[in-house]
Amino acid sequence: MDVDALVFDVFGTCVDWRGTIIREAEGWSRKLARKIDGTGLADAWRASYQPSLEEVRAGRRPFAALDVLHRETLDKIAPRFGLAGVDEATLDGINRVWHRLDPWPDTVPGLRRLRARFLLAPLSNGGVALLTRMAKRVGLPWDLILSSELFEGYKPEPKVYLGAARLLDLPPARVMMVAAHNGDLAAASALGLKTAFVRRPTEYGPAQTTDLAPNAAWDLAVDGMEALAEALGC
Amino acid sequence: MDVDALVFDVFGTCVDWRGTIIREAEGWSRKLARKIDGTGLADAWRASYQPSLEEVRAGRRPFAALDVLHRETLDKIAPRFGLAGVDEATLDGINRVWHRLDPWPDTVPGLRRLRARFLLAPLSNGGVALLTRMAKRVGLPWDLILSSELFEGYKPEPKVYLGAARLLDLPPARVMMVAAHNGDLAAASALGLKTAFVRRPTEYGPAQTTDLAPNAAWDLAVDGMEALAEALGC
């Protein structure tokens, strides 16, 4: 595979947002001495994700970083899951759970192997600050942080993929997009990037029905980052 | 010192551009079987650096990445230093010497200590691709790559320093600019960033006359990155 750089979707592909929020919510429940529905919160928060990005993509509002969009959603849904009337500092800390997401068990070992041979970067709709802090906390070994924020748009907008290739000073064909989401890969592939599908069948919980398998002939389809390293000869 | 992130000037502050070019030129001389004046080339190349950036800063030309500016200068000066009539691939490889600059001996050990406590990034007029490849080659342990390129300007333009703080999601006062150049620190300080002067008295060779000492009351003044780590309690 003649590529120099691998760029990774992050939420769901590298890290387990749903499991982390559910686990963290147990701590919030104890600290606030109230019952917080972490599973409901995680699912409702993520359900608002694409609609909130679409406001920006469609030009109905100016670019706003994902932390801002996450917080707007949180303010709307918090009361439904046991977080009514919580103070500002606590809500801000809860919003930053997206900076503290735990990687899937294969992510750090797989990336470490891949890093010996390729430039590695996230290419996420998460902001630069979010991705930087997430990486530092758990040791995601990125060579640089690439984020939709740098291009003031959101995947799957073409400017994000093409902007990443431009900053890397590589033709799109020398960059591989790695994602657990067929839509992300379809957008990248249409622009000439290589593609690797990583199966994450429980990203949305045990009853997940979407993105269980590749829906097109992506360059690679693997079961995790160690398998990706294997497939790429690392 | 209440800061969360340290951002570093790179050419001269972290890496020895002059010494590296002189050393590499010995290899080019052997390979091309001709006498190349590495010292003259290094000094002339760098002498054109600020004038070429100024064309962009003054708005006389649109933003162009530093690789492009470096190459324009190289094309102009190459014949004077033994590189007349050299083929395109060789010239391109020579131009990329700026991606392969060696760090000062204290840089990597100092940064490794600092990284345990602070977010670390370059904040250089070098481009993202240049800074990424430089870091990967010699193990500069950045958490993210920040470059003037992301803001389509060149230091000391304010948008570069303020853009870095914005991407880090930090107030300027929580960011420290680390540089061997008083002018860089003056621009950063005027915008509210903290400042650390690193003395590099041979950056321009043994007869250097500029930036031998801090010319204002910067927050810190140190003799290298290990000393910076010491001063910051790392």
Q: What is the pLDDT of residues A34-82, one digit of tens each?
A: 999 999 999 999 999 999 999 999 999 999 999 999 999 999 999 999 9
Instruction: Give the pLDDT confidence of A174-213 residue by residue, as tens digits.
Output: 999 999 999 999 999 999 999 999 999 999 999 999 999 9
Write the Ramachandran bin of B9: left for phi over 0, alpha for psi from -120 to 50, otherwise beta: beta
Contact assignment for B132 to A149 by CB distance below 8 Å: no
Instruction: Give the pLDDT confidence of A9-28 residue by residue, as tens digits.
Output: 999 999 999 999 999 999 99
Query: In this predicted structure, what is the pLDDT of residue A158?
Result: 98
Write the Ramachandran bin of A205: left for phi over 0, alpha for psi from -120 to 50, otherwise beta: left
Q: Does B127 touch chain A (CB under 8 A)?
A: yes
Query: In this predicted structure, what is the pLDDT of residue B23?
Result: 98
Asked if residue B162 has pLDDT above 80, the reply is yes
Q: Does B168 touch chain A (CB under 8 A)?
A: yes
Closest-approach residue (CA) in chain A for B135: A143
How does residue B1 score in pLDDT terms, banded at 50, 70 and 90?
Answer: confident
Measured between beta carbons, the chain B residues lying within 8 angstroms of A136 are: 119, 143
Q: Distance, in angstroms, between A136 CA and closest chain B CA?
A: 7
Q: Distance from first CA to last CA of chain A, Å, rounded?
A: 12
Q: Distance, in angstroms, between B78 CA and closest chain A CA?
A: 24
- Are the C-beta atoms of residues A149 and A128 closer than 8 Å to each other? yes
Domains recognised in chain B with CATH numbers: 5-16+101-231 (3.40.50.1000), 17-99 (1.10.150.240)
Measured between beta carbons, the chain B residues lying within 8 angstroms of A128 are: 144, 167-169
Query: In this predicted structure, what is the pLDDT of residue A93?
Result: 97
- Angle at which helix B38-47 crosses helix B49-57, to 10 degrees, equals 20
Interface test with B, best of A98, A118, A132 (most B CBs within 10 A): A132
d(CA A69, CA A62): 12
Q: Distance, in angstroms, between B214 CA and closest chain A CA?
A: 31
Instruction: Give the pLDDT confidence of A110-127 residue by residue, as tens digits.
Output: 999 999 999 999 999 999
Q: How many CB pairs under 8 A join A and B?
A: 55
Q: Does A168 touch chain B (CB under 8 A)?
A: yes
Of residues A129, A143, A170, nearest to B168 (C-beta) = A129
Asked if residue B122 has pLDDT above 80, the reply is yes
d(CA B150, CA B166): 12
Contact assignment for A128 to B168 by CB distance below 8 Å: yes
Interface test with B, best of A67, A128, A138, A168 (most B CBs within 10 A): A128
Query: Strand A5-8 and strand A119-124: pairing?
Result: parallel
> Strand (E) positions, chain A?
5-8, 119-124, 146-147, 175-179, 194-198, 220-222
**A202-A205-A210 Cα angle (round to 5):** 65
Contact assignment for A169 to B127 by CB distance below 8 Å: yes
Contact assignment for B144 to A128 by CB distance below 8 Å: yes
Six-digit token string for B119: 């977010």
Across chain B, mean pLDDT equals 97
Query: In this predicted structure, what is the pLDDT of residue A1?
Result: 77
Closest-approach residue (CA) in chain A for B148: A167
Longest dimension (CA), chain B: 54
Provide mean pLDDT across the span A87-102. Answer: 97
Query: In this predicted structure, what is the pLDDT of residue A38?
Result: 97
Instruction: Give the pLDDT confidence of B69-95 residue by residue, as tens digits.
Output: 999 999 999 999 999 999 999 999 999
Measured between beta carbons, the chain B residues lying within 8 angstroms of A64 are: none
Task: Identify the CA nearest to A14 among candidates A93, A111, A92.
Answer: A111
Q: Distance, in angstroms, between A115 CA and closest chain B CA?
A: 9
Measured between beta carbons, the chain B residues lying within 8 angstroms of A127 are: 167, 169
Query: In this predicted structure, what is the pLDDT of residue A151?
Result: 98
d(CA B201, CA B209): 8
Question: What is the ipTM, given to two decimal places?
Answer: 0.96
Instruction: Give the pLDDT confidence of B194-234 residue by residue, as tens digits.
Output: 999 999 999 999 999 999 999 999 999 999 999 999 999 99
d(CA A100, CA A211): 24
Q: What is the DSSP code string of chain B?
A: ---SEEEE--BTTTB-HHHHHHHHHHHHHHHHTS---HHHHHHHHHHTHHHHHHHHHTTSS----HHHHHHHHHHHHGGGGT-TT--HHHHHHHHGGGGSPPBPTTHHHHHHHHHTTSEEEEEESS-HHHHHHHHHHHT---SS-EEGGGGTS-TTSHHHHHHHHHHHT--GGGEEEEES-HHHHHHHHHTT-EEEEE--TTTT-TT--SSSS-SS--SEEESSHHHHHHHTT-
pTM summary value: 0.97
Of residues A119, A132, A170, nearest to B144 (C-beta) = A132
Instruction: Give the pLDDT confidence of B8-56 residue by residue, as tens digits.
Output: 999 999 999 999 999 999 999 999 999 999 999 999 999 999 999 999 9
Q: Does A127 touch chain B (CB under 8 A)?
A: yes
Under DSSP, the state recorded for A104 is: P
The CA-atom distances, in angstroms, between A103 and each of A20, A71, A100, A107, A123 are 9, 22, 9, 6, 16
CA-based radius of gyration for chain B: 18
Q: Does B169 touch chain A (CB under 8 A)?
A: yes
Q: Distance, in angstroms, between B129 CA and closest chain A CA?
A: 5
Of residues A129, A135, A136, nearest to B169 (C-beta) = A129
Q: Does B176 touch chain A (CB under 8 A)?
A: no
